[in-house]
Amino acid sequence: AKESMVWAKINEILSGKEPNGGEMMLISRSWISKWKSLFKQWEGKKKRPQKYKQKTIIDTENIQNINHDLVCHHGFLRPGKQGKRLILTEDWEYIKDQALNGACSKSSCFS
């Protein structure tokens, strides 16, 4: 039940519009796309488990660092707006701590 709540809440956060105010963090648009694909697979597996018995879900290792593609080789945030989206800090913290059972908890964050 908790797993379903986490999946649903993260999907709701990422499907919403960019917030207008409040404390915000950047999140990778590429990661959002990967999450949405993973969410669709997870939903399909939940609805039709027999079809997914032998299939493995998307390789989650590739999405454990949420903002990997926003960082240059020096470890700094890449300039420009492309590929980035703002979300509320509290939503960022929730995603980082809860996505994939905490596998994203070491992700880089930028405000």
**Residue-wise pLDDT tens digits, 56-93:** 555 555 678 888 888 887 878 888 878 899 999 999 99
pLDDT tier, 20 (very low <50, low <70, confident <90, very high otherwise)? confident
High-pLDDT (> 90) share of the chain, %: 21
- % of the chain exceeding 70 in pLDDT: 87
The CA distances from residue 10 to 4, 74, 76, 102, in Å, are 10, 30, 26, 13
The one-letter amino acid code at 71 reads V
Quickly list H helices, 16-109. Answer: 29-47, 89-98
Query: Can you give the pTM of this predicted structure?
Result: 0.78
Residue 18 backbone class (left: φ over 0; alpha: ψ -120 to 50; beta: rest): beta
How far from each other are the two terminal CA atoms of the chain, in whole angstroms? Answer: 32
